[in-house]
């Protein structure tokens, strides 16, 4: 059926129809559209893992990590001098470092210039983590044989009000800054949830090579509307490797410990009166029943280092004496 | 002269009107006032099912959660000087002698302990959470927002709950949602077993999210904001994770220690 009309009425109808179309396009749901806006600067608000985020973990501190025997053996072979090798100085962390590192986040989005559809979210890099691009346009992950990078390849989708991302093609690197490993077979799923001004990111790292079960970590950020807080540069800093130690100049030397020769294996356990098996990590150490193997534990008399002094008015304990300075 | 004729297809116009009407109706939100359907109970309107057995997975702050840290270890907590004075004087034997052995098992401390949770509906407006660590019970009351009377201070305080949902896209049914719990009226206790204190004016806000990992395991993630004008310089934000278990085979109630 067709309607006949005059030019003036036709113009009115055309205008009305265009307006309706515009309303419909603006309001219609889209699978790639955000359920909430991630863009902006987010200041770190995590009241957890202060030592790991700040000064760094102690040697052979694998507490909370689901390392299997292979992962533990690889971790114990790690020598900190590896970081002094020129080829080791500019290694970046994988995107898992988003939930490990101490910094804020800078997140922006990019749109297809033709369709106007959301192409990707981008999470700015830090000095030791590359930019994370979360592709939202439905593109597939590359072939398993494609090159791996520290940033890996990440896609995202909305599940209700949660942005769920999947990262593959990450290079083998460390999951903790004391050499605990993660392999290039690992995959990572992240869950982004927003509650008002708070952004929570949970990351599930599954590594069939070095973990006995997936590692789950989470942290939170607060929207920083002034954009003035430290974002860890918010950009990837250039890295220029140099020879730092004479030993690192020696040809063919790769710092490492042979099995059974790591000198730090008992240090942490003795410092905190813990059984050696506790500091070596493992899936069974993550659950409440592991406390039955800690019945002889008695806490040290007083905290002597990294006791929490980052705030105003709370003096630091800086010399190992246990006495605030 | 005969005016030119412009043709519009009736189905096209009808479709445009229909799409616009649907979009505007969805934007306007659900019907209100006379004739609106009765409000569903909290249980019936739950966007996710939190019931069942859940276990804390201690993959963060292991040394501060799985065991009692040394006296004076306040790492990660933005305490005030007053809190530090109390923490430095922590004496667990004195607490036990005073009948205060559950100080680390109040809601703010309890959730970070290595524990299992059993979550059930006590009634249509009350979600019940039992913890085997310390044999504690929290009640999340959805209808409590209308109640202004405050009871005596207690380890688990009084918790007002609500479902929070994303704003739906036009023409869609909202998917997902979280449980928001605000707990007040807390009896002074410890954020950690080593005597890091919180006071009676503390407010604990929690956002409970349900997610499923790629292996199919279900998780509850809790984003917590602890505020205490006396013992915290700023809100203390932490995130905890609990994994679902098939049954209560590992449920093991223990007293406060």
Which of A63, A288, A294 is the best mutation test for B, with the most CBs of B within 10 A? Answer: A288
Which of B11, B192, B222, B237 is the best mutation test for A, with the most CBs of A within 10 A? Answer: B237
Q: Tell me which residue in A7, A33, A307 faces B6 most closely, judged by beta carbons.
A: A7
Q: Which tokens go with A7?
A: 């030019």
Q: Tell me which residue in B171, B176, B240 faces A159 most closely, judged by beta carbons.
A: B176
Q: Which tokens go with B43?
A: 């249980």
Q: Quick check: B8 and A46 CB within 8 A?
A: no
Local confidence pLDDT in tens for the 325 residues of chain A: 344 455 665 566 555 555 554 444 444 444 444 578 899 999 888 799 988 888 889 999 999 999 999 999 999 999 988 887 777 777 678 999 999 888 889 999 999 999 999 999 999 887 788 899 999 999 999 999 999 999 999 999 999 889 999 999 999 999 999 999 999 999 999 999 999 999 999 999 999 999 999 999 999 999 988 776 555 544 455 677 777 666 655 667 788 999 999 999 999 999 999 999 999 999 999 999 999 999 999 999 999 888 886 543 445 554 555 555 4
CB A57 within 8 A of CB A177: yes
Asked if the structure places residue B169 within a domain, the reply is yes
In Å, how far from its chain's centre is CA B203? 13
Q: Domain range for residue B59?
A: 52-245
**pLDDT digits 0-9 by tens, B144-199:** 665 555 789 999 999 999 999 876 666 666 677 899 999 999 999 999 999 999 99
Chain B residues with beta carbon closer than 8 angstroms to that of A292: none
Task: Name the residue among B218, B233, B247 with its Cα closest to residue B57.
Answer: B218
Give me the total of CB pairs closer than 8 Å, taking one residue from chain A and one from chain B: 250
Query: Quick one: closest CA in A to B232, which residue?
Result: A311
Task: Name the residue among B119, B120, B125 with its Cα closest to residue B40.
Answer: B125
Asked if the structure places residue B40 within a domain, the reply is no
Residue B186 DSSP class: B
CA–CA gap between residue A57 and residue A64 (Å, rounded): 12
Chain B residues with beta carbon closer than 8 angstroms to that of A21: 16
Chain A residues with beta carbon closer than 8 angstroms to that of B27: 27
Chain B residues with beta carbon closer than 8 angstroms to that of A191: 209, 211, 221
CA–CA gap between residue A57 and residue A53 (Å, rounded): 8
CA–CA gap between residue B189 and residue B204 (Å, rounded): 13
Ramachandran angles phi, psi of A71, nearest 5°:
-65, -40
Asked if the structure places residue B20 within a domain, the reply is no
Tally of domains within chain B? 1
Q: Quick check: A161 and B75 CB within 8 A?
A: no
Residue A8 DSSP class: H
Chain A residues with beta carbon closer than 8 angstroms to that of B223: 193, 195, 198, 200, 218, 220
Asked if the structure places residue B179 within a domain, the reply is yes
Q: Tell me which residue in A23, A36, A302 faces B23 most closely, judged by beta carbons.
A: A23
Task: Specify which residues A303 forms β-bridges with.
Answer: none
Give the three-class secondary structure for A78: coil
pTM, whole model, 2 decimals? 0.85
Q: Which tokens go with A316?
A: 């630091």
Asked if the structure places residue B63 within a domain, the reply is yes
List the Cα angle A37/A189/A210 in 5-degree steps.
150
In Å, how far from its chain's centre is CA A103? 10
CA–CA gap between residue A296 and residue A276 (Å, rounded): 13
Q: Quick check: B133 and A21 CB within 8 A?
A: no
Give the three-class secondary structure for B251: coil
CB B251 within 8 A of CB B135: no
CA–CA gap between residue A148 and residue A162 (Å, rounded): 27
Whether B208 has a pLDDT exceeding 80, the answer reads yes
pLDDT value for A5: 53
Task: Name the residue among B12, B159, B249 with its Cα closest to residue A16.
Answer: B12
Q: Tell me which residue in A193, A278, A299 faces B70 most closely, judged by beta carbons.
A: A299
Q: Tell me which residue in A17, A195, A322 faces B223 most closely, judged by beta carbons.
A: A195
Asked if the structure places residue B58 within a domain, the reply is yes
Q: Quick check: B17 and A20 CB within 8 A?
A: yes
**pLDDT digits 0-9 by tens, B35-72:** 666 789 999 999 999 999 999 999 999 999 999 999 99
Query: If pLDDT is split at 50, 70 and 90, which confidence band does B1 have?
Result: very low
CA–CA gap between residue B109 and residue A292 (Å, rounded): 20
Question: Alpha helix (H) ranges present in A200-312?
Answer: 246-249, 267-271, 276-279
Other beta carbons less than 10 A from residue B241's beta carbon: 22
Asked if the structure places residue B57 within a domain, the reply is yes
Q: Quick check: B19 and A24 CB within 8 A?
A: yes
Which of B12, B29, B54, B70 is the best mutation test for A, with the most CBs of A within 10 A? Answer: B70
Chain A residues with beta carbon closer than 8 angstroms to that of B174: 160
Q: Quick check: A27 and B67 CB within 8 A?
A: no
Asked if the structure places residue B44 within a domain, the reply is no
Task: Name the residue among A106, A85, A61, A52 with its Cα closest to residue A235.
Answer: A106
Chain A residues with beta carbon closer than 8 angstroms to that of B61: 48-49, 64
Q: Tell me which residue in B62, B116, B166 faces A63 most closely, judged by beta carbons.
A: B62
Give chain A's largest Cα–Cα span.
Answer: 94
CA–CA gap between residue A209 and residue A228 (Å, rounded): 41
């Amino acid at each position: 059926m067709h309607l006949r009309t005059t030019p003036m009425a036709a113009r009115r109808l055309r205008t009305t129809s265009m307006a309706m179309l515009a309303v419909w396009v603006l309001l219609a749901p889209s699978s790639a559209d955000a359920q909430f806006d991630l863009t902006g600067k987010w200041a770190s608000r995590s009241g957890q893992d202060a030592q790991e985020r700040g000064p760094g973990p102690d040697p052979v501190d694998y507490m909370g990590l689901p390392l299997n025997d292979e992962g533990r053996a690889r971790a114990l072979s790690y020598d900190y001098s590896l970081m002094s090798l020129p080829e080791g100085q500019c290694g970046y962390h994988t995107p898992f470092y988003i939930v490990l590192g101490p910094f804020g986040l800078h997140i922006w989005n990019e749109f297809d210039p033709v369709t106007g559809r959301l192409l990707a979210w981008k999470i700015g890099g830090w000095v030791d983590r590359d930019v994370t691009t979360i592709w939202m346009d439905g593109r597939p992950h590359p072939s398993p044989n494609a090159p791996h990078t520290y940033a890996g390849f990440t896609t995202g989708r909305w599940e209700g009000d949660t942005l769920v991302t999947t990262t593959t093609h990450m290079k083998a690197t460390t999951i903790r800054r004391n050499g605990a490993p993660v392999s290039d077979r690992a995959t990572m799923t992240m869950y982004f949830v927003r509650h008002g001004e708070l952004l929570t990111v949970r990351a599930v790292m599954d590594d069939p090579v070095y973990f006995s079960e997936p590692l789950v970590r989470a942290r939170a950020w607060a929207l920083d509307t002034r954009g003035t807080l430290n974002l860890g540069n918010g950009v990837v800093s250039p890295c220029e490797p140099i020879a730092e130690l004479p030993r690192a100049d020696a040809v063919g030397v790769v710092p490492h410990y042979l099995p059974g020769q790591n000198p730090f294996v008992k240090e942490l356990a003795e410092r905190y009166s813990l059984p050696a098996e506790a500091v070596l990590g493992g899936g069974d150490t993550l659950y409440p029943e592991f406390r039955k193997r800690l019945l002889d534990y008695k806490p040290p008399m007083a905290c002597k280092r990294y006791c929490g002094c980052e705030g105003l008015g709370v003096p630091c304990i800086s010399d190992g004496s246990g006495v605030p300075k | 002269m005969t005016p030119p004729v412009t043709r519009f297809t009736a189905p096209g116009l009808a479709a445009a009107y229909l799409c616009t009407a649907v979009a505007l109706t969805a934007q306007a939100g659900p019907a209100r006032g006379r004739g609106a359907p009765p409000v569903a109970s909290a249980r019936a309107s739950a966007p996710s099912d939190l019931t069942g057995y859940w276990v804390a997975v201690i993959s963060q702050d292991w040394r501060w959660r799985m065991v009692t840290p040394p006296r004076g270890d306040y790492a990660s907590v933005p305490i005030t000087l007053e809190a530090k004075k109390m923490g430095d004087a922590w004496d667990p034997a004195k607490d036990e002698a005073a009948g205060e052995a559950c100080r680390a098992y109040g809601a703010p401390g309890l959730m970070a302990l290595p524990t299992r949770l059993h979550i059930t509906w006590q009634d249509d407006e009350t979600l019940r959470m039992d913890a085997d660590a310390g044999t504690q019970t929290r009640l999340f009351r959805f209808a409590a927002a209308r109640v202004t009377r405050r009871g005596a201070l207690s380890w688990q305080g009084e918790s007002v709950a609500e479902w929070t949902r994303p704003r739906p896209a036009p023409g869609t049914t909202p998917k997902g949602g979280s449980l928001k719990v605000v707990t007040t009226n807390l009896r002074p206790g410890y954020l950690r077993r080593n005597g890091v204190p919180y006071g009676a004016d503390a407010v604990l806000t929690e956002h409970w999210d349900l997610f499923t990992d790629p292996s199919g395991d279900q998780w509850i993630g809790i984003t917590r904001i602890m505020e205490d004008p006396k013992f915290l310089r700023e809100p203390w934000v932490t995130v905890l994770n609990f994994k679902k278990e098939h049954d209560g085979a590992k449920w093991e109630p223990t007293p406060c220690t």
